[in-house]
Amino acid sequence: MSAKSPWQRRLQIVSFPETVKATEVYGFAGNSGMVNLEGQLLSGDAPSKTVLIFMHPASTLQLLPMPMALADAGYHVLCAASRYARNDSALIMEKVAMDLGQWIRHAKEVLGYEKVVLVGWSGGGSLSLFSPAQAENPTITHTPAGDPADLTAAGLTPADGVIFIAAHLSRAETMTEWLDPSVTDELNPDQRDPEFDIYSPDCPHQPPYTVDFIARFREAQRARNRRITAWAQDLLAELKARDTPEMERAFVVHRTMCDVRWLDPGIDPNGRKPEWTYMGHPLTVNVGPVGLARFTTLRSWLSQWSYDLSNAKGPMNAARITRTPVLQIVNGADDAVPATHNPAIRAALATKDQSYVELEGATHYYLGQPELLAECIETVRRWCDERGFAR
């Protein structure tokens, strides 16, 4: 193994003006007419023409094994946070795309990098497709709630490359595949349809599940998502009609980690272990506070979680990327990303320069897998060198 390159963490701050009718994020991050973004640049003293930008809609990624391993290998890595860092309850995907655009501009115009490669990890994968798609051919002027969010006038700077790694289709599509279809009353999660209550020992369907049951389970998941979407649209319209200072409503979405895949490893098989997810036991996560979409708002649901309305769906945006080279790295034992998701992105990508590498046995975070992490970094190195993304 080659020696590690010395590097430091350097704080980065990006601020830009934005006028909003109501505060969306707590504290100073989006207050006083400014959006204030924080990030960390992991770099050594040796100059580099290329920076790798990690960004997730709602997480900060500077402590993940991969960014630090890339810095060890001599790359300059910018771990960039959106305005919704660590709190996605009011997150608007269109505004996250604007935040990423500001970081790309900062990297090129302020930090002086010639090339920017987006690294879309996990939930950042769909963002790494959404932003380049809109930079290449901007079409969005409003959020799904009808609020102004003009990406056609945002001047989004195209990325020079995209690495899509350990990433799922999108937050909307993935959460729908994990949405508990047994819930019949959104205000009372104990009111459930026993046919789809797969975590109950009394459920009439037990693994291995039949093809017919899986199809009905999936349709029931989409139906629940659409019921919540319709309710959110109706209530938002009612609030607008009232024309009072009450502009938004927060709510809880119960039971959002329910997938037949977790109990039946024969469904979309990979190397994951059964009855487990990247956040722990699926039943515990299903009802716990950290589940996807657990706390949200009307506008955020429509933008971030709505199966039909979200603008950030992965395959839809992959089909709009025609010029940017894309590397997909698939972790073969990923316990967060379903095995069907990366092939769907691969099939949708319009760019001719696309590469697809699967790391057999790799889990979502490479915990306890230094050899597979090293293989991942070597894959990135070869791909970057071939395209002139020099360190």
Q: Which helix (H) or strand (E) holds 227?
A: helix 211-242
How does residue 99 score in pLDDT terms, banded at 50, 70 and 90?
very high
Q: Would you say 124 and 99 are in contact if contact means Cβ atoms under 8 Å apart?
A: no
Q: Say whether 242 sits in a helix, a strand or coil.
A: helix
Q: pLDDT tens across 305-348, in order?
A: 999 999 999 999 999 999 999 999 999 999 999 999 999 999 99
pLDDT surpassing 60 at residue 1: no
| Backbone phi, psi, residue 355, to 5° | -125, 150
- Looking at residue 174, what is its pLDDT? 98
Look up the pTM and report it.
Answer: 0.95
Q: What is the pLDDT of residue 25?
A: 77
pLDDT 10s digits, 262-302: 999 999 999 999 999 999 999 999 999 999 999 999 999 99
Rounded to the nearest integer, the mean pLDDT of the chain is 95
> Is the pLDDT score of 2 beyond 80?
no
Residues 338-385 pLDDT 10s? 999 999 999 999 999 999 999 999 999 999 999 999 999 999 999 999
Neighbours of 378 (CB within 10 A): 11
Q: What are phi and psi of 38, to 5 degrees?
A: -120, 145
* Domains of the chain listed by start with CATH number: 8-170+312-386 (3.40.50.1820), 174-305 (no CATH)
- Kindly report which listed range (19-23, 173-177, 186-190, 377-381) carries the lowest average pLDDT score: 19-23
| Contact between residue 15 and residue 35 where contact means Cβ atoms under 8 Å apart | yes
Which of 119, 81, 151 is closest to 312 using CA atoms? 151
Query: Read out DSSP for 170-216?
Result: -HHHHHHHHS-TTB--TT-TT-B-GGG-TTSTT-S--SSPPHHHHHH
Mean pLDDT of 35-44: 96
* Confidence (pLDDT) at 5: 87
